[in-house]
Amino acid sequence: MHKKDYFPDSEDQHIEIDASPANRTSPKKLWGGAFSEGPDEDLNRLNASLPFDQKLVLEDIEGSMAHATMLGAQGIIPREEAEAMVTELKRMHAEAQAGKLVLDLADEDIHMNIERELIRRLGPVGGKLHTARSRNDQVALDMHLYVKRQSARMIEFVRETVSALIALSEAHIDTVMPGYTHLKRAQPVSLAHHLLAYGWMLERDKKRFEAAYRAADRSPLGAGALSGTTFPINPAQTAALLGLAETYPNSMDAVSNRDFVLDFMYAATVTMIHLSRLSEEIILWASDEFQFVTLPDAYATGSSMMPQKKNPDLFELIRGKSGRVTGHLMGLLMVMKGLPLTYNKDLQEDKEGLFDTVETLEAIFLVLPKALRGLVFHRERMRDAVRESYALATELADFLAQKGVPFREAHHIVGGLVKRAMAEGKRLDALSEEIYREAHPLFTDEVYSLLDPETAIRRRMSAGGTGRTSIETQLAALKSALQLSDRN
């Protein structure tokens, strides 16, 4: 049976589970045979993971369906019992998707809930589901399925955001703005070139999510608690049923590995850093001091006191939440750094940070592309910011160097011209031809054509530069890299 036959509609579902106190029945623990009394209630609360690992309900049921199918195919349990389990698990899967599957907080995690519910529905047959399986390989499988699924979603979110940046870039190939170093106006660039820098950052983020997808695309099921099992299982079958590309060669590694979670969280963190940098620039550009861009009303907020305010809350939240996502990555790294093999309860801490990271990125990506498409850039204001600065000074130094003057000497000569212009409160194009000839005889009246922002950009013909040819090449390459059509 192919994965699609099991759970065709399991992608991107938001599951609402009824886990209210009213459903608490305080059942006997499924693992309590060797204990003379149940755990302390305060320990129960600390130990329980259901309040958050219920997010894995679909993955847990899907893994159980594959496991039950394999048990029947291998003759470990009667085939008709395996089929009965799969039928009921499919029903539970549909109920979970509809938010109608009731979970009991008295059971400590999602795994015990699903198994107990299956036993309630099927009787002793349901108790055979956990044959040749431990919660250790079970939860590891759930996490693999979850990370793989979320990686695929993030890849699509990134593509949509880059598509918005490409649309803006295509509209602003000829829009001139200052490029900055140290937040000082440095050289003129095309706004498209500036925006495409973020497009390429996100293209690398897409590759990182693809790597996380591949890292999660394997099945730990069959590893048992740590050493495998005495039953004649077929891990390759369960992997194939779940659409996973491979199995683990080592059972101890299978149950203790969380590299794939770290890979995902690292990809998410770097993505958030890139989005934070973009947001910081939009915040600056929208400020009264820059006035480069106006935010769309639908993606800005106002002040409860000051009527004139139009605040870039979306972009400030992105900037702020980047620290939150980074913190989750650091937290899991610290959890993993000292763990002996194999499974330890510390690994319960791999989930909440991951889930919050996914929810944070999802919330941002659902709104950011729309906000980007609504930005209104002020072309004249951006061009004036170039002309009112000394951002074209390098054009003069390059001109002399191209005429044979050593660049270091040319740099010194033009530095003197900048110093004089600043002292006189003038722009470079306001200095007289006589002053330029004084500085160096190679300067003629053609010097003023060098001080045109559009000319300066056109002269940047190097690969990867801000010239039109380079930008058009970048646009085509970026669309190809992200498999985007020409319709953005």
- Contact at 8 Å (CB) between 43 and 201? no
> What are the C-alpha distances in Å from 312 to residues 149, 309, 333?
32, 10, 33
Asked whether the beta carbons of 237 and 315 are under 8 A apart, the reply is no
Q: What is the pLDDT of residue 295?
A: 97
The verdict on 297 and 179 lying in the same domain is yes
According to the model, what pLDDT value does residue 47 have? 64
Query: What confidence score (pLDDT) does residue 27 get?
Result: 56
Q: What pLDDT is attached to residue 1?
A: 44
Residue 195 lies in a domain: yes
What integer pLDDT is reported at residue 467 of this predicted model? Answer: 95
- Based on the fold, state whether residues 275 and 373 are members of the same structural domain: yes
442 and 347 inside one domain: no
Could you report the per-residue pLDDT of 192-227, keeping only the tens digit for each? Answer: 999 999 999 999 999 999 999 999 999 999 999 999
219 is a domain residue: yes
Alpha-carbon distance of 471 to 462, in angstroms, equals: 11
In the three-class reduction of DSSP (H, G, I as helix; E, B as strand; rest coil), residue 449 is classed as helix
Q: What gap in Å lies between CA 264 and CA 281, rounded to an integer?
A: 26
Residue spans of the chain under pLDDT 50:
1-2, 4-5, 8, 12, 14, 17, 19, 21-26, 487-488
Domain boundary, last residue among 100, 131, 162:
131
**Claim to verify: residue 192 and residue 69 sit in the same structural domain:** no
Q: How far apart are CA 399 and CA 448, in angstroms?
A: 12
- Say what the pLDDT of residue 154 is: 98
Q: Are 267 and 154 in contact (CB under 8 A)?
A: yes
Are the C-beta atoms of residues 326 and 272 closer than 8 Å to each other? yes
Q: What is the pTM of this model?
A: 0.91
Query: Residue 24 sits in a domain of what CATH number?
Result: 1.10.275.10
Q: H helices of 174-248, where? A: 191-216, 235-241
Beta pairing, strands 218-219 & 184-190: unpaired
Q: What total number of domains does the chain contain?
A: 3
488 falls within a domain: no
Answer yes or no: do 182 and 324 share one domain: yes
Question: How far does the chain reach from its first CA to its final CA, in angstroms?
Answer: 38
CATH number of the domain that residue 283 is part of: 1.20.200.10
> Which of 29, 125, 116 shows the shortest CA–CA distance to 79?
125
For residue 377, how many other CB atoms are within 10 A of its CB?
17
Q: Are residues 327 and 401 in the same domain?
A: no
On the question of a cis peptide bond just before residue 301, with omega within 30 degrees of 0, the verdict is no
Is residue 229 in a domain? no
371 and 394 together in one domain: no
Residue-wise DSSP of 382-424: HHHHHHTTTTTHHHHHHHHHHTT--HHHHHHHHHHHHHHHHHH
Is 140 inside any structural domain?
no
Are 451 and 389 contained in the same domain?
A: yes
- Check which CATH number belongs to the domain holding 413 and give it: 1.10.40.30
Q: What is the pLDDT of residue 483?
A: 85
Determine the pLDDT at residue 53: 84
List residues with catalytic annotation: 182, 303
Q: Is residue 415 part of a domain?
A: yes
Q: Are 392 and 302 part of one and the same domain? A: no
Q: Which domain holds residue 213?
A: 146-223+239-379
pLDDT of residue 31: 52
| Residue from 159, 189, 246 nearest 391 by CA | 189
- 375 lies in the same domain as 388: no
Residue 91 lies in a domain: yes
Quick check: is 136 in a domain? Answer: no
